[in-house]
Each structure stands twice: as C-alpha cells, then as structure tokens.
Amino acid sequence: MSTIAQKRGFASTVWDYLTTVDHKKIAILYLIAGGIFFLMGGVEAMMIRAQLAVPNNDFVSAGLFNELLTMHGTTMIFLAAMPLLLAFMNAIMPLQIGARDVAFPFVNALGFWLFFFGGLFLNLSWFLGGAPDAGWTSYASLSLASEGHGIDFYALGLQISGFGTLMGGINFLVTIINMRAPGMTYMRMPLFTWTTFVASALILFAFPPLTASIFMLTFDRMFGANFFNVAAGGNTIIWEHFFWIFGHPEVYILILPAFGIFSEIFSTFSRKRLFGYSSMVFATVLIGFLGFMVWAHHMFTVGLGPVANAIFAVATMAIAVPTGIKIFNWLLTIWGGSIKFTVPMLYAVAFIPSFVAGGVTGVMQAVAPADYQYHDSYFIVAHFHYVIVGGVVFALLAGTHFYWPKMFGTMLSEKIGKFTFVFFFIGFHLTFFVQHFLGLMGMPRRVWTFLPGQGLDTGNLVSSIGAAFMAVGVISLLINVVITSVKNERVGNDPWEDGRTLEWAISSPAPFYNFKQLPLVRGLDAYWLEKMEGKTTLTPAEPIGDIHMPNSSFVPFVISLGLFIAAFGAMYHVDDKAWALPVLIGGLVITFGAMIYRSLKDDHGFHIHKEELMEENDDKGVKA
C-alpha cells in the first residue's frame, strides 16, 4: 500500500468509498447521504407550503399531505440533521483530539451503512404503496390503525438506521475517552469535541427506549402482539412515554453539537479564547443530564395529572438556565474580540437571536396550563422550527462553510455563501415567525387545508413565500459546491488563518493517517498556543514511527444489506406472501453470515513504515 495519492478511475473511487473505514471518508459519505435526504425533506416541505399557500387548496390530497408531513419530519430529524452532524463529528472530532482514527473504524463504517440502508428503506415507501402517515411521532393508536405498509416502513427503516446511530454514538464515546493525544485532558478538549461527547452519551441512553418502542410497534403491526392495543389490554400511552423519553434527548443530540460548532466559530472569528470555557462544559453536561427529566412536557394535555405536569414543567424551565449560560458566554466571547464576519460567523451571529426566540417560546410552553392553549397548534410548529432551523440547520450550514476546507481542501465561495445566508435567514424568519400568530389564532398543526376568511390567509401566504426564499438559499449553496469543486483551488493547513484547534495544524484535507507524530497538547486551543509562540507546527509527542492502520472492508455494507433485505421479508409477511418468510430468513442469514465471517477471519491491518513517512517529508518539504 502506497501513501502517495494515485489517479483513480470512477469505479475504483466508488469501491474505495463502499469499503472505506477511514473516518474522513465516512464523514464525506454521511455528508452526501445526509445532504440528499435534506434535499428530499426540503422538497416535502415545499410541497406542504405549496398546499397551504392559499385556502381550500387541492394541490395535494389529504392523504398525501399526511404522508408528506410525516416524511418531512422523520427525514429531517433522523436522516438529515443527525447524519449531517455525524458527518462533522466524524470529520473533525478525531482531528481535534489528535487521534489517528476513531476507536472502532469498522463499526464506524457499519454505522454509516446501517443508517443509509435504513433511510433508503424508509424512502422506498413512496414507490411501494404509500409512505407513513401518522406524523413523525407515530402515536400508537393512530399508527396501529394506519392502512397499507407506511408505518411498517417507518418502524423497520428507523430500527435499522437507529442501530447505526447507536453504534456511532458508542464509537465516539470510546474514542474521546481513550484516544486523546498526550496532554489533551478533558478540560483542554475543544467545545465541539465536548458536545460530541455529551451528545454521544445521550445517543447511548436515548436510543434504547426508541429501539424498544419500535420493536413493540413492529410486533403489534406485523406479528400480532398487543402492546399498544387498548382493546386487548395494552396501553397506548406507553408509546408516547417511550417515544418522548427518546425524543426529548434527541433534540439535545441535535442541538448540542450545533452549539459546539458555533462555539468553535465564535472563538475563531472573534480571535479570542472562548469566554467561560469551564462553564460552557458544565452547561453542556447539565443540559444533557436534564434532557432526560423533561420528556412529559410533550404530553401535558394527555392527562398526567397536576402533580406530574408541575414537576415536568419546573424541570423544563430549569433547562433554560444552562442554555442561558451558553448564550451569555457566546456574547462575551464576541465582546471586545477582533471580529471577522465570514460566512460561518454570519450564521453564528444570526443564530443567537433566532435560537433565543425559539427558546423563549419553549419556556412559554413549559407553563403547563398555558400549553393547553398552544398544544397541537402552529405555535408549536413555529417554536420547534425556530430551535431546529435557527439552531441546528444554521449550525449545519455554518459548519459546511467552516469545515469544507478541512474536509475537501477547497474554500466555498464567500460571495455566494453570503447570498445563501441572506436568502436563508430572511426566508427562515418569513416562514416561521408568522406561524406563531397563525397558531395563536387557532390554526391546528398537521392540518391539510383551511377555509378562507378566518384570518389565516395572509399569514399562510407569507409563510409559503418565505419557504421559497429558503429554497433559493439552499440551491445557491449547491451551486456554490459545484463551482468550488470545479475550480478546485487547493488551500493550505489553516485557510481561515485563525484556526485554534489541532485540526488546523495539519494539511487540508488531512492525510489518511491524520498525524505523522501524535501532537503534544499544552493547553486549551493547542494550535493557537503554538502560533502565539511563533511556530507553525505542533510540538510532537513521539518520534516518527510505524503507524498501524486498519484494512478497508466490504463487510459493513453486506451486514447492512442483509438487514435491508430481511426488512422486506418482515413487512410482506403480513400479506401472507409465500416469498416473505424466505426473504426474511435469507436477509438475516446474510447479516449473521457476514458477522461470522468478520469474527472468524483475522484482519490485522497494515503498517505505514517509518521510511515512507520520512520520504514524504523530503518530497514536500513540509512537516505534518
């Protein structure tokens, strides 16, 4: 194996990505797959807004509308936002802690392919008799009554992709605990690494309830169980509890890495150390902890009783405190800084007021009696889009611009980036701000159409126009990506010139072994420290030596493919199709066969030899 890049054909590149276990390539896979699902979720959103643009519209049928809103929510949360965050975690976190890869590269690849096949399975429902139509929450009584295979696609697809996410979370935890470079103590870890760590812990604890509840749903729908069937002695409320025990931490799984990305951006472009670093870490951990104590605030109107409602209301309001700590820390990071308004910084600055607006409506809803008014209205829709778009999507767009050079070695155009920002920012507020008032005026969420002359016409039209603005923003980002890739102007190690953390000390994109010599970390913002002492490279912690690397493997793809095939068998088993059971068994045989192959066949990886690494030094005249 040579370390020198060679010209490759298209097929060999595809094969390379199908078998890769390199965290940087898996990050690119996550970015592409997550990006495609993001576009699909966006198209669904545009169709929803087109339907609601004018009263009494019949652009889509009521049934199709239910499918669109369900798939929009499910796709955006599970298949777009989370994988895109996993893309940045994969690409950046190992570099930030000075590691050569994640702890389990094979499992990392397996996690991606499970997510991909799960998402593919879910979206095939469009072509195979109808998508799920019970909302992304898929409340049990409704989802059990849903006809066709839509909910089966939801249950099996999310189960498979959930396995992948769980593996990703465990992998990051082990990586951060065990693979930090010498001197990289916990309290020297960059904030994005910290938020990755806490979000991974949340994944570890939040996904098992989802897995359990989806198993129960699967068995209720496909194998004749009655967990949620009240008529047969089950309890439909259990689904809601399980779903939100997962679902509430899930929103923190999304927002915490977003906070991490913004923390990096604020300190980089204010050219200041992050204000209140230790309180930021404390607030992150506290949010993660409290995130598990508040799930029932999604269920105030279920009838839990005043005591339970009061407890969960107070716990919910408590979360505003650590979040407030973060907001003030960001403001004080910018305060007095030498600020550079690059595209990532624009998103970061726009994020603060947008997210605070969403947070304030969140505290309003935490007041349980008031929530009876807001519940299931467009006010809720406005609230969670303010926190998820204003928080997570802004972070994803900011992160795309900020980390693009580190992932691909080219800079996205700042000019087009600003165009994207302006359209997306204006469109976002245009779409969702007015929805607060639509909700307060009584427009229920998930409604297919509305009557004219009830004061809802103008607001809905404004909202739909805003959605078009956001679409223009996203399209301009795609154009930006194409132009940048075609131009292919390579950049150096530290293209933003103000990089503070380890990833900016190595080439863009990083060499496949990341660090020739593991760096010695001497404080927070390790690379910045070195730069302040007039150096351009990191202090090495070890002499140049052989580097042990894992071999590529096609097995993760096969394991995931097996589950994908088995899912079809499980689903059509209900229809008494003769081929269903053999397909179910066949798929599982493929999966477990591939696992056995992996277990029995020794794969020791390979070494990059010291001489090769030294040679490369001489060739390029630069040090890693």
Partner 1 sequence: MVNNQSNSNNPRLNYDYRRKKNAEGMRIQVATFTLMIFFTVVSFVAVAADFSKWFVVPFILLLAVVQVGFQLYYFMHMSEKGHEAPSLFMWSGVTIAFVTVLAFMTIIWW
Using CB under 8 A as the binding rule, whether residue 201 contacts partner 1 is answered as yes
CB of residue 180 to partner 1, shortest distance in Å:
12
Task: Decide: is 305 part of the binding site for partner 1 (CB under 8 A).
Answer: yes
Among 292, 328, 384, 513, binds partner 1 (CB under 8 A): 292
Nearer Cβ to partner 1, position 296 or 319?
A: 296
> Taking the complex as a whole, how short is the minimal distance between the CB of residue 304 and partner 1, in angstroms?
5
Min dist CB 303 to partner 1, Å, is 10
Closest CA relative to residue 75, chosen from 129, 26, 122, 32: 122
Q: Judged by CB under 8 A, which of 23, 49, 72, 241 binds partner 1?
A: 241
CB 290 within 8 A of CB 322: yes
Tell me phi and psi for residue 271, to 5 degrees.
Answer: 50, 45
Q: What is the rounded distance in angstroms from the CA atom of residue 179 to the CA atom of residue 251? A: 27
Q: Give the count of alpha carbons within 13 A of 123, CB side only.
A: 22
Determine if residue 523 is left, alpha or beta; phi over 0 gives left, psi from -120 to 50 gives alpha, anything else beta: left
CB 391 within 8 A of CB 357: no
Q: Please, which residue, 46 or 204, has the CB nearer to partner 1?
A: 204
Min. distance of Cβ 291 from partner 1 in angstroms?
A: 10
Distances (CA, A) of 459 to 326, 387, 443: 33, 20, 11
Q: What angle do CA 130, 203, 113 make, to 5 degrees?
A: 55
Pick one of 36, 120, 225, 304: the residue that binds partner 1 (CB under 8 A).
304
Per CB under 8 A, does 238 bind partner 1? yes
Please identify which residue in 1, 177, 483, 596 interacts with partner 1, judged by CB under 8 A.
177
Task: Note whether 308 binds partner 1 by CB under 8 A.
Answer: yes
Interaxial angle between packed helices 457-487 and 414-440, expressed in degrees from 0 to 180 and rounded to the nearest 10: 160
Check binding of 205 to partner 1 (CB under 8 A): yes
Binding region for partner 1 (CB under 8 A) out of 12-20, 111-119, 218-226, 285-293: 285-293
Amino acid sitting at position 124: L
Question: 577: which DSSP letter?
Answer: -
Confirm or reject binding of residue 209 to partner 1 (CB under 8 A).
yes
Q: Per CB under 8 A, does 212 bind partner 1?
A: no
Q: How far is the CB of 151 from partner 1 (least distance, A)?
A: 23
**Angle at alpha carbon of residue 595, lines to 590 and 596, rounded to 5°:** 100
Q: How far is the CB of 237 from partner 1 (least distance, A)?
A: 6
Q: Which residues pair with 549 in a beta bridge?
A: 606
Q: What is the DSSP letter of 275?
A: T
Two structure tokens written together for 405: 């050079």
296 lies in the binding site for partner 1 (CB under 8 A): yes
Q: How many helices (H) and strands (E) does the chain have?
A: 21, 2
Choose one: 225-233, 300-308, 484-492, 615-623; the region binding partner 1 (CB under 8 A): 300-308
Minimal distance, residue 419 CB to partner 1, in Å: 45
The contact set with partner 1 (CB under 8 A) reads: 173, 177, 201, 204-205, 209, 235, 237-238, 241, 245, 289, 292-293, 296, 304-305, 308
